[in-house]
A and B are shown apart, each in its own frame.
Chain A
């Protein structure tokens, strides 16, 4: 269903949701956009948050021997690229990880669709910014908020003015015109195991793992014991210990680990789950201290190597 609401009506929608959910949103705090508890729709920032709000579903650090959190939360202002990350990782971890699953099933994401490309972003490459899968999706056009709701959530839009997609389609066409997709199709076949790219990246990379932490699709984690807790902590495939065992290390060198990261994103996940493990958010590029650009993996001319 699609409705069109004004700012006052968005507050009404917010109040309806607030009856059923604890409400969170992207807000500006000390000059940064972060996610926090909110009590009014007007508090929500439309800016891209400093970090992807991955923590709503995968805690940075939690005791996996505890009981999964089933608090019902509604999160306003998550960007389409960040939300899409959850839909993609669902294909590997939903229904398997009890913590992710409990949170995923109890969290409502109200995503904001960008109408202008953010600096460096390339979400149109992966079908963005309007999502095909969503719960409640908002596209703002000046004073008008176009609200798309999936069947499960359309009850919250009862009574608001119905609309059609024509204006949204128009805005999305313009978006894609201004920011055309990169040619990612078939990258899983073009990419080369022995490409010079991996060594080039390795000569710059300082193994900080920021690309993994900032990524809305990176789901890997480490488990370790501390006293009577067994803690899950976000892990990074760039770090040397990621594959080390008592028998040795499958990926001893940094170029092998960088290649693994990009093969996971553009080859392995495509083969195993049918999707690229990237949403074009550009966060890994923004946060990389040595300016390694994932877009180069897509656009590189492998054939001439």
Chain B
């Protein structure tokens, strides 16, 4: 066992695979096993470049995988690295064990922590309690394209795109429009992750469809530098998203004016 000098020092791990998901999204797999639970994140780093908080995309105990949109200083370089720094897991996870039924709603690049959830719930043999709604902007933005058919055999999984094209014969429209098609009971917990506006509209639609506010959970994103509640960047009101979240019960944060920013 390696004793770490301090919490900021990452473990360096080998990247065993990097595969393209879409034009700007890729998945990397590492040799390390995932000690995190669905919804938690790790700080990934490249020496000389920096660190970025990334949600774990694989199930607990499986090899760690991260699905990343190439957009920032660090994320744009992670795709082709053989070795990366990792520290974590940090934050809390989806409280999936506390509920009999779960409706997960993911928009855009919010899908990785839901993939982790699907894997864990499937591994535990409880797939029938989960239904997933996933919306991407365009057909070409759909992440995990090769895994979705397999998921559809295990769970109820509805997919939509905001704008279709000539190759698309699935649903079109925002992911929020799928909420009324869901078959879970209104006692189900809703796990929502995606861009702020998508989360806001999902909450409105969920409440309008009879879901209760204290069973809605949001995964929030903020600038994070430390991951351990000390650098001060990720606050939402009196909470630090890294240590009190990233997943929040909607009823606990709904009065925060900066919630959907």
Question: Are A and B genuine complex partners?
Answer: yes
Residues of A within 8 A of B (CB): 64-68, 92-93, 96-100, 193, 219-228, 230, 235, 237, 242-248, 250-251, 260, 263-264, 267-269, 271-272
Chain B residues near A251 (CB, 8 Å)? Answer: 258
The smallest beta-carbon distance between B256 and chain A, in angstroms, is 10
For the complex with contacts A220-B233, A271-B237, 9 further pairs of A-B residues with Cβ separation under 8 Å are A67-B5, A68-B6, A96-B228, A219-B230, A220-B231, A235-B231, A243-B223, A260-B235, A268-B237
**How far is A227 from B48 in the complex, measured between Cα atoms in Å?**
5
For residue B50, CB closer than 8 A to chain A, the reply is: yes
Complex contacts, A250 vs chain B, CB 8 Å: 222-223, 258, 261
Judge whether B48 and A221 touch: CB under 8 Å: no
Expressed in whole angstroms, the Cα–Cα distance for A200 and B232 within the complex equals 25
Nearest-neighbor residue (CB-CB) of B229 within chain A: A96
Closest to A194 in B: B257
Closest residue of B by beta carbon distance from A237? B232
A65 cross-chain contacts in B, Cβ below 8 A: 5, 8-9
Query: Could you list 24 A-B pairs, sorted by A, with CB under 8 Å?
Result: A64-B8, A68-B5, A93-B229, A96-B7, A97-B228, A219-B230, A219-B232, A220-B233, A221-B225, A221-B230, A221-B232, A223-B226, A224-B50, A225-B45, A225-B47, A225-B49, A230-B8, A230-B51, A235-B232, A237-B232, A243-B223, A245-B222, A246-B75, A250-B261
Indicate if B72 sits at the interface (CB-CB under 8 A): yes
User: By the criterion CB–CB under 8 Å, are A242 and B230 in contact?
Assistant: no
List the interface of chain B (C-beta within 8 A of A).
Answer: 5-9, 45-51, 71-72, 75, 195, 221-223, 225-226, 228-233, 235, 237-239, 257-258, 261
Contact B223 A244 (CB under 8 A): yes
Kindly state the separation between the CA atoms of A272 and B46 in the bound complex, as whole angstroms: 33
Residues of B within 8 A of A248 (CB): 261
Which B residues are in CB contact (< 8 Å) with A222? 225, 231
Chain B residues lying within 8 Å of A220, measured Cβ to Cβ, are: 231-233
Do A264 and B50 have beta carbons less than 8 Å apart?
A: no
Residue of B nearest to A256 (CB): B258
Task: Evaluate whether A245 and B223 lie within 8 angstroms (CB atoms) in the complex, with A223-B51, A272-B239 already known.
Answer: yes
**When chains A and B are docked, how far (Å) is the Cα of A227 from the Cα of B47?**
7
| Complex-state Cα separation, A67 to B229, whole angstroms | 20
* Residue among A66, A67, A99, A223 making CB contact with B225, cutoff 8 Å: A223
Closest to B231 in A: A221
Q: Which residues of A contact B221 (CB under 8 A)?
A: 245, 247
**The 6 A-B residue pairs with the shortest CB-CB distance in the complex, in nearest-first order:** A220-B232, A98-B6, A64-B8, A271-B238, A268-B238, A272-B238
Could you tell me the distance between the alpha carbons of A193 and B71 in the complex, rounded to whole angstroms? 33
Of all chain A residues, the one with the shortest Cβ separation from B244 is: A272
Q: Is the CB of B71 within 8 A of A246?
A: yes
Residues from chain B with Cβ under 8 Å of A269 in the complex: 238
With a CB–CB cut-off of 8 A, which chain A residues contact B228?
96-97
A134 to B163, CA, bound (A): 63
Residue of A whose beta carbon sits closest to that of B261 = A250
Q: Are A98 and B7 in contact (CB under 8 A)?
A: yes
Among A193, A228, A242, A268, contact of B48 (Cβ-Cβ < 8 Å): A228
**Among A219, A222, A244, which residue has the most Cβ atoms of chain B within 10 A?**
A222
The answer for the CA separation of A68 and B230 in the assembled complex, in Å, is 16
CB neighbours of B71 from chain A (8 A): 246
Nearest chain A CB to B137 CB, angstrom units:
14
Q: Which residues of A contact B195 (CB under 8 A)?
A: 247
Contact B229 A99 (CB under 8 A): no
A68 to B72, CA, bound (A): 30
Kindly list chain B residues whose C-beta atoms are within 8 Å of the C-beta of A263: 237
User: Looking across the interface, which residue of chain A has its beta carbon closest to that of B76?
Assistant: A246
Bound together, the chains give a CA A98 to CA B51 distance in angstroms of 18
Closest Cβ neighbor of B234 among chain A residues: A243
Contacts A223-B51, A227-B48 given: A267-B238 contact, CB under 8 Å? yes
B257 close to A99 (CB less than 8 A): no
A158 to B: closest C-beta gap in Å? 36
A242 to B222 Cα, complex, angstroms: 11
* One of A96, A225, A247, A264 near B235 (C-beta < 8 A): A264
Question: Across the interface, which residues of A come within 8 angstroms of B233, CB to CB?
Answer: 220, 235, 242-243
Distance, CA A117 to CA B68, complexed state (A):
55
Q: How far is the CB of A274 from chain B (nearest CB, A)?
A: 11
Chain A residues in 8 Å Cβ range of B50: 223-225, 230
Find chain A residues with CB under 8 A from B257 CB: 193
Determine the chain B residues whose CB is within 8 A of the CB of A272 once the complex forms. Answer: 238-239
Closest chain A residue to B9 by CB distance? A65
Q: In the docked arrangement, what's the CA distance between A251 and B237, Å?
A: 13
Q: With A and B bound together, what is the CA distance between A65 and B12 in angstroms? A: 13
**Alpha-carbon separation in the docked complex, A246 to B237 (Å):** 21
Asked if A243 and B222 make an inter-chain contact with CB atoms under 8 angstroms apart, the answer reads yes
Query: Whose C-beta in chain B lies nearest to the C-beta of A221?
Result: B231
Least Cβ distance of B7 to chain A in Å?
5
Most chain B beta-carbon neighbours within 10 Å: one of A223, A227, A272: A223
- Report the bound CA distance from A263 to B257 in whole Å: 12
Residues of A close to B5: CB separation below 8 A? 65-68
